[in-house]
Structure 1
């Protein structure tokens, strides 16, 4: 019986070790001096920790990290808010087109980036937004809004309709009901969706690549720029990857309990 109980813990520990292995290689590789980079395998720890490369790469990435934050955070918050409005409108809708609109939102949510990248890039070019932070923000927003709407619609079904009915009896209009009665109850949901979209936008590579000529508009592009054509200094690549991964990791640690609370609401199905 003890062995049966021990088995799940061993499986979890094994999965954790597999997950930690790339992080281990990434960390020790970022701390190696150039002499060891050229002579030792990536998985062998350094005998002489060197922070020079890490600090130099951090200085190179600092403006790009700022650009990425200025794009991703407002985009995630805006998409979550617009998605909340869209979800509320669909939740309250009585028209026969409601099911059609739901299908459209679902299709848009799972639309591959590749299917829209050419018209999207042309749209940005014609309006002078190509290779700009505004263009990347708009591109992310276009793809994020359907997902946010679908997720917020699932969350919003957990709200008792009696809350809305009570506000209607008091004579409140739709926007006032949304702002005063519905949106405050969507706090965990809003945080979960905004956190997910922030991390997703931070890690997105394809949209910034399709809408940029340079590497300085998004952190994933800048990290990719450390991949050389003739050879790679993996301590530079690992340093860039390690630094780029810290902001979303710290964000999740800071807001993790709210994210999980939102997922619990989603899993409860409004019960």
Structure 2
């Protein structure tokens, strides 16, 4: 009695019918069609135009003469290009720009250093109540400034801190600690525990471990909090209104006075002043944006 055995089915060649091949190339329909790509590019273009149209009006108005800068000709190019608006805006805002630099640089550095220290301790030192302390620090991020402005003003006056830049530095440092602590804590959580354990085995204490191990690799975190704190302090207006005057306050307060004084007569000066006031933050972000994104991503994934 003979038995007939069927030959095993031959493996499908890695060609058209191979599941592995189709999986490697991508299943049919996963690649965007030309119509889909066109619609995607159109959506991106519309988004860019939506953002840049106000910038276009801002820029061209800053180069118009007084009679040419009017709502009726907001979209038209200047009849006569002039730099007088920029000169007048610079004369009015230059002292305030210098005061703002003296505000944002120390407040950014101090709040970043304190946030770095807090973040390292809260991420590596599990002392009793660490989670409660961290929660209380984060609670400062959710306090509406308007709700605490009156008692905060009374507190600053009671401490006799000079009005203007000194009081603003203190406020931006205090209110910047919660966000800087959060960013650095998340960043230090991504550091391998083996590095900290190796430093401990070598006899390093917490301060030595922080200065020799954690701090040298925390540059991405400093870039993130530096950009964040710089832009927050530079663009602040609420604290400036309550704790300074146009003579000793930052550029946002001086820009508000410039716009109020020129709003009905000369739009060009207001637009030039707005561009001057926003230029430092724009330069900082353009130069450091790639490091800002890299720093955010490095603190978002554990590994």
Taking structure 2 as the reference length, the TM-score comes to: 0.84
Cα distance in 2 for residues equivalent to 1:179 and 1:39: 57
8 Å contact from structure 1 (residues 120, 139) kept in 2: no
1:187-198 alignment to 2 at 5 Å? Answer: 187-198=219-230
1:131 aligned counterpart, secondary structure: coil
Cα distance in 2 for residues equivalent to 1:121 and 1:193: 26
Q: Which moved more, 1:73-82 or 1:36-45?
A: 36-45
1:192 aligned counterpart, secondary structure: helix
Aligned match for 1:245, one of 275, 278, 290: 278
8 Å contact from structure 2 (residues 70, 267) kept in 1: no
Go from structure 1 to structure 2 and tell me whether the alpha carbon gap of 1:10 and 1:215 turns closer, same or farther (over 3 Å shift). farther
Report the alpha carbon displacement of residue 213 of structure 1 after superposing the two structures with TM.
2.9
Partner of 1:106: 138
1:259 and 2:262 aligned: no
1:118 and 2:150 aligned: yes
> RMSD of aligned C-alpha atoms?
1.7
Report the alpha carbon displacement of residue 215 of structure 1 after superposing the two structures with TM.
5.3
8 Å contact from structure 1 (residues 79, 141) kept in 2: yes
Deviations 1:14-61 (A, max 9, x none): 111111111111101111111212584322221211101111211221
Cα distance in 2 for residues equivalent to 1:165 and 1:242: 50
Report the alpha carbon displacement of residue 152 of structure 1 after superposing the two structures with TM.
1.0
Partner of 2:36: 4
Report the alpha carbon displacement of residue 228 of structure 1 after superposing the two structures with TM.
2.6
1:227 aligned counterpart, secondary structure: helix
Go from structure 1 to structure 2 and tell me whether the alpha carbon gap of 1:266 and 1:8 turns closer, same or farther (over 3 Å shift). farther
Unaligned ranges ≥5, structure 2: 1-32
Unaligned ranges ≥5, structure 1: none
8 Å contact from structure 1 (residues 215, 225) kept in 2: no
Highest CA radius of gyration, 1 or 2? Answer: 2
Partner of 1:24: 56
1:226 aligned counterpart, secondary structure: helix
Partner of 1:173: 205
1:225-236 alignment to 2 at 5 Å? Answer: 225-228=257-260, 231-236=264-269
Report the alpha carbon displacement of residue 6 of structure 1 after superposing the two structures with TM.
2.1
Cα distance in 2 for residues equivalent to 1:265 and 1:7: 33
Aligned match for 1:128, one of 160, 163, 166: 160
| Alignment: residue pair count | 270
Report the alpha carbon displacement of residue 130 of structure 1 after superposing the two structures with TM.
4.9
2:299 aligned counterpart, secondary structure: helix
Cα distance in 2 for residues equivalent to 1:160 and 1:57: 51
Go from structure 1 to structure 2 and tell me whether the alpha carbon gap of 1:114 and 1:130 turns closer, same or farther (over 3 Å shift). farther
Partner of 1:161: 193
1:68 and 2:100 aligned: yes
Cα distance in 2 for residues equivalent to 1:215 and 1:44: 36
2:258 aligned counterpart, secondary structure: coil
Runs of 4+ in structure 1 deviating by more than 4 angstroms, as ranges, are: none
Deviations 1:202-252 (A, max 9, x none): 111111112113354111111111233782521111111010010011111
